[in-house]
Structure 1
Amino acid sequence: MTHNLAQGREQLQQVLLDTAADLTELRDLEAVLQAIVHRTRVLLSTDMAYISLTDFEHGETYIRHAEGVITQAYRTIRQPLGTGVLGQVATGLAPVQSSNYAEDPEIEHLAEIDEIVQGEGVQAVMGVPLTVTGRVIGALLVAERHSRLFSAAEIAAVDSLGRYAAIAIDNSMRFESLTRLVEQLSSRQRRDADELALTTHVLDLDRRLMETVMGTPDAEHLLMIGRSALAVDLAFYDADGSMVAATSGRAPEADAQSYVSVVAAGETLGRVVADRLLSETERTLLERVAVHLALAVLFERAEEDADLRRQSEVVEDIIDGREHSRERIERRLKHWGIRSGEPLLCVAIEVPDQDRRRLLQLLSGLRMRCVLMSSHSGHVCMVTVDTQWEQRVRDLFAARGWTLRAGVEGPFDDPRLIGSGHERAELALHSLDTLQRDGIVHGEQLGLLGVVLGLARRGQTPQSLTAPIDGLIAYDHTHHTDLTNTAYVYLESEGNTALTGELLSVHRNTVRQRLERISTVLGAGWDASPRRLGVHLALRIRDAQVTLDR
């Protein structure tokens, strides 16, 4: 199963790369359309695939290129927007599918279209919209002559392909349009010399930008090309407002007046900003820079995602015990520059789900030496040999204003210990949650608490360890009080009633009253030797169990 999934991802990546290569063939729209349709059909092994272009002026979308279609009527369908699967997809809202088109009550049927579909023998249809910088230009669809429900992964694959397809089609259509314009302008040489020069300039800029994207899609290089065309300093800011790249000279601020949004498939990736107001002509050139920046970001994301998937597979295989051979593990780690016998560190970093992808990107950007990462169980796991990792991670979190909680274990030179090292690092991270503390804690610092946390995670805590506070827990349950937590915070605060009150947000007199009640329930001397150690341990175990159950 894992092999099939990996094979599928590799096939998708190859299709995307092949399609991206066609972006250089901007002179032949038909060749680009044919390649996209063919690869989409091969990717999902469907009976047919086709691309439609949307005509908003007439409120319809029409099939522009198809493969596998038998009837001329189907090949020349013009579908009103909002009707059928094709008409719904072409509105640009979201992917749409139907496993049984003729019987699907959620589709707005048109008798003449239904007749054409029946004549072609189509049963299942699925499509994704094609959008460029927020504009809907058409739809990419696949169809079967038998019933089929396309999976979320298949829809996502076609959607990914559709992003590249949209840019390829848009570039080809722009190129054809500009080429026709050049041919028209050539007959009006002197009167339209300026317009011809601009068009040629745009074509030349597009060519240079595309060559860069297809070679090394580097944002700074693209900005330098834009600067040479516009004679103005440029900067690219991501969606968070952080500068990604800038030309030399005075970098314009993120809120400068002249900017163009960098958008791909409806997602705003950031903005490219100029350091002065631009004319309409200059803005046209800047828009071309923005389009190619979006393409470069998509390429970079695809490469990052593929690399992170490979890293995650290695880490998960070792942690889950699927890799036992030291020689094989070392061979897999060598791909990321980790040599045999190098001391390894295993780090577990807490991160909210919504920030996980961003954190992985930022950690990758730190350029730490020899690092593998995986995201699971509410944290990011990092295996590294970089001795400077801690300061770099601290600086990163401080710069972003994030709270840092991390557990670390190591160093150890046997990669087979990554699994147990991960467990210790995870326990260390959970200890910070348990104690409601921030920072970085090493597994060796846990001591007895580490043992307790480990037992609690496996549900193997001996009942006798919590027996000293059973009466207190029962009292809280019966009287709806908070004596157990008060006792825990009191002992954690070294018996300081003022600090206990501050942590519990109650007055110190309230703390004293609670302590008197605790003494009544547990008996005098519960907070003094020799009983103090047993009570404190029981309270820590209970708090750990509560934390792990959350």
Structure 2
Amino acid sequence: MADGDPAPRTAERLAARLLHLLATEAPPAAFDLLAAEVEACPPGPARDEMFLALGSAGRVRDLLAHRRRREKAALALVESARDLAAMRDVDQVLDAMVRRARQLLGTDATYLALRDPERGDVYMRITLGTLTKAIESIRQPVGTGIGGRVVATGVPFATADYLADARLSRDPHVTDAVIEDGIVSIAGAPLRLGDEVIGVLFVANRYERAFDDAEMDLLCSLADHASIVIGNAELFERAERTAAELRAVNEELAERQRALERASAAHEQMMPLALRRADLGELVESVASMLGGTVAAVGVDGGLLVTSGDGDLPSPLPAPPHDAHAAQPGGTPTCWTVPVRAGDETFGHLVLVTDEVPSDADVRTFERAAQTAALMLLIEQQVGAAEHQVRGELIDDLLAAREPDWAALTRRARSSGALDLRVAHTVVVAAATGVTRARLLRAANEYVGVRGGLGTEHDGRVVMVLPRQDPDAVARSVASELERLAGGVVTAGVAGPADSAAEIRARHREAQRCLRLLVALGRHGQGACPTDLGMLGVILDGTTQQQVRALLGRTVDPVRRYDDTHHALLLDTLDAWFAAGQNPRAAARTLQVHPNTVYQRLDRIDLVLGHRRWREGEGAVTMQLGLQLHRLTAEIPLEELVPATGT
């Protein structure tokens, strides 16, 4: 061995230590200590060989470290692929990738930013390792900073000093956030969906660091995996949305099919009811069974006609809906109504009470039930109208101005069953205001429908002939009953009893005259017999036209002629004076004149009549009767008010 070379045993010992350091993957400081020991050895070939061995060991150490990093990166990518295959929650997978990028690249912070499709800028989706809120709220325009640059170019980018890098165009707000968080070096890789860049995966440090190619390749691989996660999430979301839409369409189609089946079943149940002229109660019962609730039919007057079901109806019953075609909620969410109409004809409405809001199909069935009810009632009305027409012709012939053939009329009455001339009848003549005559006639037919008899229209008035009815009892109630059924103000004249067809004819004229007297006296909305008209009715019942003219000639006619000739107001003064209880001052207030004017007019009446007997006792009664007859004859010709025969 040459002079100055280390002892063989020393060289072997140093070589063994070098191998041990390589085998145990010792830190760089241990190799530095060994190099110092070799440096201290005497110069010579052995020492040079040791230096060569140290250099080779360094290269081996670097190669092993690089291999370890590659293995670690490969393992991370495998774990990322496993995460992709597992397809857990998207946010969880992205969080795991951000965390893995930070661990693999050994950075202080990691971010994942996405491009906002509406605003077009880049915003932070996930941050890890940040110290301030400013970084988390960054929104960066495309083209500025690292994120904006990567999104704009689609090329990864890294800088060892963000603030000093001249290649970057920085946004002041982003720069302030970077400074506040202490970030110095940053690297970013694009997230792609096809050819579109949708975001950036960042790693960052708070010191200067140059990222090598291997680190950038790893960052790009993780970014590609994150892109797959986001893309798959969108695909799954789109698939789920499509599946949900398909399920909704299928459910809608199934519901429509069920609705068609229910509608068909409802049609099959309801139409036969109308065709065989079932009553309204059967229809209501059938509808309640189909819809599983309580159903009621309500008349045009708001009264309950029929009901079916175990539920309670609201009180008061809901009013009919304004919409003629669609059922509407009334009062509560579970109470529905639908009108019963045929053209312009209204028969009332149906009410449905259920535990739940009806489905559209149930609403359609409910509306179809109302249409069926209208059809049933219309058929019933038409049949009744035909029957009433036959009976009405009999009444028209009986009441015609020309006296009928009594034998032929009696045979027709017996064969049709319209009139039983073996019993006494009461005759009613009615008129109404606020309602059509047709509506009053329907009300009259409904009235006689539960009492027997006939209802028809004759000479512009509604006439009813009622068997076995007390005229006085009918007079007390008929006007209010017809008003309830028709809806208008009804006035009715009543006469009877009539024991034969000829008597019915006579009582009709009596009832007609009674009606005209009620109207002339302003007693609208009342029903009355002649005896109910007080003294005036008794007098008219037993007087003649000549007697009425004579009475008017002694009382009213002279005063009326004086008024016509002198343009005076003596008749008005007479009316006001009697109405005020023969008190001149009260009459003056009514006439709005001075009391002396009333005294003067009364004295003038004395002169016109030639006496003062008209002021007191029997004379006052006669004068008041004359005034009433004067008002009546102004409305009703005397020939109609008092028949020429005096009856």
User: When the two structures are superposed, what TM-score results if normalisation uses the length of structure 1?
Assistant: 0.55
Write the distance in 2 (CA, Å) between the matches of 1:484 and 1:261: 55
Runs of at least 5 residues in structure 1 that lack an aligned partner in the other structure: 1-187
Give the Å deviation of 1:369: 3.0
Q: Which protein has greater RCO, CA pairs closer than 8 Å, 6+ apart?
A: 1
Partner residue, 1:315? 395
Partner residue, 1:201? 262
Partner residue, 2:159? none
| 1:328 and 2:409 correspond | yes
Give the 3 Å change call, closer, same or farther, for CA 464–422 of structure 1 in structure 2. same
- Pick one of 471, 475, 495 that aligns with 2:558: 471
Write the distance in 2 (CA, Å) between the matches of 1:480 and 1:373: 49
Give the aligned length.
357
Give the 3 Å change call, closer, same or farther, for CA 298–513 of structure 1 in structure 2. farther
Write the distance in 2 (CA, Å) between the matches of 1:265 and 1:236: 19
Partner residue, 2:500? 414
Write the distance in 2 (CA, Å) between the matches of 1:502 and 1:284: 69
Task: Indicate the SS of the match to 2:313.
Answer: coil
Partner residue, 1:254? 318
Partner residue, 2:352? 274
In the alignment, residue 634 of structure 2 is paired with which amino acid? V
Partner residue, 2:443? 362
Give the Å deviation of 1:424: 1.1
Write the distance in 2 (CA, Å) between the matches of 1:465 and 1:414: 35
Give the Å deviation of 1:215: 0.9
Write the distance in 1 (CA, Å) between the matches of 2:376 and 2:441: 19
| 1:427 and 2:513 correspond | yes
Whether contact under 8 Å (2:429, 2:494) holds in the other structure is: yes
Partner residue, 2:293? 232
Q: Deviations over 1:1-41 (max 9, x none)?
A: xxxxxxxxxxxxxxxxxxxxxxxxxxxxxxxxxxxxxxxxx
- Written as runs of structure 1 = structure 2, the 5 A alignment for 1:160-179 is none
Whether contact under 8 Å (1:227, 1:247) holds in the other structure is: yes
Partner residue, 2:630? 542
Write the distance in 2 (CA, Å) between the matches of 1:254 and 1:432: 37
Q: Deviations over 1:465-498 (max 9, x none)?
A: 422222311233345554325535755x595549
| 1:340 and 2:427 correspond | no
Partner residue, 1:447? 538
User: When the two structures are superposed, what TM-score results if normalisation uses the length of structure 2?
Assistant: 0.48
Give the Å deviation of 1:259: 2.5
Write the distance in 1 (CA, Å) between the matches of 2:465 and 2:588: 39
Partner residue, 1:371? 453
Write the distance in 2 (CA, Å) between the matches of 1:254 and 1:472: 59
Give the Å deviation of 1:198: 2.5
Q: Deviations over 1:173-207 (max 9, x none)?
A: xxxxxxxxxxxxxxx99995543332122112112
Write the distance in 2 (CA, Å) between the matches of 1:488 and 1:324: 48
Aligned-residue CA RMSD in angstroms? 3.9
Partner residue, 1:263? 341
Give the Å deviation of 1:527: 2.8
In the alignment, residue 379 of structure 2 is paired with which amino acid? F
Give the greater-gyration-radius structure (CA): 2
State which drifts further: 200-209 or 495-504: 495-504
Give the 3 Å change call, closer, same or farther, for CA 315–498 of structure 1 in structure 2. farther
Write the distance in 1 (CA, Å) between the matches of 2:633 and 2:444: 31
Write the distance in 2 (CA, Å) between the matches of 1:334 and 1:199: 51
Give the 3 Å change call, closer, same or farther, for CA 470–389 of structure 1 in structure 2. closer
Task: Indicate the SS of the match to 1:312.
Answer: helix
Task: Indicate the SS of the match to 2:634.
Answer: helix
Q: Deviations over 1:190-239 (max 9, x none)?
A: 99554333212211211211100011242232222111111122233345
